[in-house]
Amino acid sequence: MKSFVRLFICLLIAGHAQAQSIDSLLARMSLIEKVGQMTQIDLSVLVKGGYCNPVEPLALDEAALATAFGKYRVGSVLNCACGSGSKSPATWNFLIDGIQASAQSHGLMPILYGIDAIHGTTYSSKGTLFPQPLGQAATWNTALVERGAEITAYETRASGIPWNFSPVLDLGRQPLWSRMFETYGEDVHLCTQMGLAAVKGYQGASEQIDDLHVAACLKHFLGYSASLSGKDRTPAYLAERDWRDLYLPPFEAAIRAGARTIMVNSGEISGIPVHANPRILNDLLREELGFKGVVVTDWEDIYKLHINHRVAPDFREAVKLAILAGVDMSMTPNDFRFNDLLIDLVQSGEISEDRIDASVKRILELKQELGLLEHREQNLKFPFYASADFKSAALQTARESLTLLKNEGTLPLAPNQSYAILGPVNHSLTLINGAWTHTWLGRDEAAAQEHGLGMTLAQAAETYAPQHRFSSPFFKGYTLSKEDRKAIKKASSVVVCLGEEPGTEVPGNTQSLELSRAEIDYIKAVAACGKPLTLVLFFNRPRIISEIEPLATAIVYAYLPGDHGPQALIETLIGENNPSGRLPFTYPQSAGSVVHYDRKHTEDFHSDYSTNAYQPQYDFGFGLSYTTFEHAHLLLSDDRLSDTVYAYWTIQNSGTMDGYEVAQLYMQDLYASVTPSVRKLIAFEKVFIPAGEFRTVRFAIDRSMLSLVNAQNQRVTESGEFEIWGNLGNRKRLLVP
The confidence band for 106, taking pLDDT boundaries of 50, 70 and 90, is very high
445: pLDDT strictly greater than 90? yes
- Cα-flanking dihedrals φ and ψ of residue 255, to 5°? -65, -45
Mean pLDDT across 166-173: 98
Alpha helix locations (H) across 74-221? 89-105, 133-138, 142-158, 188-203
Amino acid at 686: K
In whole angstroms, give the CA distance from residue 159 to residue 153.
Answer: 10
Whether pLDDT at 376 is above 90: no
Q: Which amino acid is at 232?
A: D
Question: What element of type H or E holds 37?
Answer: helix 31-37
Residues of the chain with pLDDT > 90: what percent? 95
**Preceding amide of 222 cis, omega within 30:** yes
Q: Does an H or E element contain 128, and which?
A: none
Q: Which pTM does this prediction carry? A: 0.96
Contacts of the segment 630-634: beta carbons below 8 A, 24+ positions apart: 630/654, 631/726, 631/727, 631/729, 633/729, 633/730, 634/724, 634/725, 634/726, 634/729, 634/730, 634/731, 634/732
Q: What is the mean pLDDT of residues 66-78?
A: 98
Cβ atoms of 360 and 368 within 8 Å: the answer is no
pLDDT of 374 reads: 80
Fill in the DSSP letter of residue 723: E
Of 215, 5, 166, 10, nearest in space to 96 by CA: 5
Contact 169, 191 (CB under 8 A): yes
Alpha-carbon Rg of the chain, whole angstroms?
26
What H or E segment, with its residue span, contains residue 619? none
Count the Cβ atoms, other than its own, within 10 Å of residue 38.
25
Q: Are 329 and 76 in contact (CB under 8 A)?
A: yes
Q: What is the mean pLDDT of the chain?
A: 95
CB atoms near residue 347 (< 10 Å): 11
How deeply is 355 buried, as exposed, middle or buried, from its count of CB atoms within 10 A (0-12, 13-18, 19+)?
middle
Where is 557: in which H helix or E strand? strand 554-557
Please state whether 180 falls in left (phi above 0), alpha (psi between -120 and 50) or beta.
alpha
d(CA 234, CA 224): 8
What pLDDT, on the 0 to 100 scale, is given for residue 729? 76
User: pLDDT tens for residues 706-720?
Assistant: 999 999 999 999 999
What residue type is 358 in one-letter code? A
Mean pLDDT of 121-140: 98
For 241-293, the pLDDT digits (tens) are 999 999 999 999 999 999 999 999 999 999 999 999 999 999 999 999 999 99
Q: Are 579 and 138 in contact (CB under 8 A)?
A: no
**Which run of H or of E encompasses 731?**
strand 731-736
pLDDT at 16: 45
Amino acid occupying residue 47:
V
- The reported pLDDT for the residue numbered 13 is 46
What pLDDT score was predicted for residue 44?
97
pLDDT at 1 over 60: no
Residue 452 has a pLDDT of 96
> Within 13 A of 665's CA, how many CA atoms are on the CB side?
22
Q: What is the pLDDT of residue 716?
A: 98
Per-position DSSP letters for 185-198, written without gaps between them: -S-HHHHHHHHHHH
**CB atoms closer than 10 angstroms to residue 97:** 19
What's the per-residue H, E or C state across 466-526? Answer: CCCEEECCCCCCCCCCHHHHHHHHHCCEEEEEEECCCCCCHHHCCCCCECCHHHHHHHHHH
The string of pLDDT tens digits covering residues 470-482 is 999 999 999 999 9
How many Å apart are CA 171 and CA 46, to the nearest integer?
Answer: 35
Question: So which residues are the catalytic ones?
Answer: 298
Partners of residue 419 on adjacent β-strands: 470, 493
- The residues, any chain, with a CB within 8 Å of residue 618's CB and separated by 6 or more, are 405, 583, 586, 587
549: number of Cβ within 10 Å? 16
Q: Which of 17-21, 99-103, 383-387 has the lowest mean pLDDT?
A: 17-21
Residue 158 bridge partners (DSSP) = none
**Hey, how many other C-beta atoms are within 10 angstroms of the C-beta on 479?**
10
At 83, the amino acid letter reads G
**E runs forming strands in 320-386:** 330-331
Taking each continuous run of H as one helix and of E as one strand, the counts in the chain are: 22, 26
What's the average model confidence in pLDDT over 186-198?
98
Cis peptide before 235 (omega within 30 of 0): no
Q: Is 585 helix (H, G, I), strand (E, B) or coil?
A: coil
pLDDT above 50 (res 351) = yes
Percent with pLDDT over 70 in the chain = 96
Lowest mean pLDDT among 6-20, 303-317, 547-561, 670-684: 6-20
pLDDT at 379 over 80: no
HSE value, Cβ hemisphere, 13 Å, CA-based, for 588: 19
Cβ contact 710:721 at 8 Å: no
Q: Which domains does the chain have, with CATH numbers?
A: 4-369 (3.20.20.300), 388-602 (3.40.50.1700), 627-736 (2.60.40.10)
Q: How far apart are the first and last CA of the chain?
A: 60
Distance CA 225, CA 230 (A): 8
pLDDT band at 730 (very low <50, low <70, confident <90, very high): confident
Q: What is the pLDDT of residues 514-564, one digit of tens each?
A: 999 999 999 999 999 999 999 999 999 999 999 999 999 999 999 999 999
CB atoms within 10 A of CB 507: 14
E-assigned strand segments in 181-285: 217-221, 261-264, 268-269, 272-273
Round to whole Å and give the CA distance between 40 and 75. 7
Residues 6+ apart with CB under 8 A from 377: 2, 6, 7, 10, 211, 371
- In this prediction, residue 380 carries a pLDDT of 77
SS3 435: coil
Q: Which residues contact 43 (CB under 8 A, 6 or more apart)?
A: 54, 58, 77, 78, 79, 80, 81, 82, 84, 95
Asked if 633 and 727 touch (Cβ cutoff 8 Å), the reply is: no
Q: Distance between CA 695 and CA 651 in Å, rounded?
A: 5
pLDDT at 598 over 50: yes
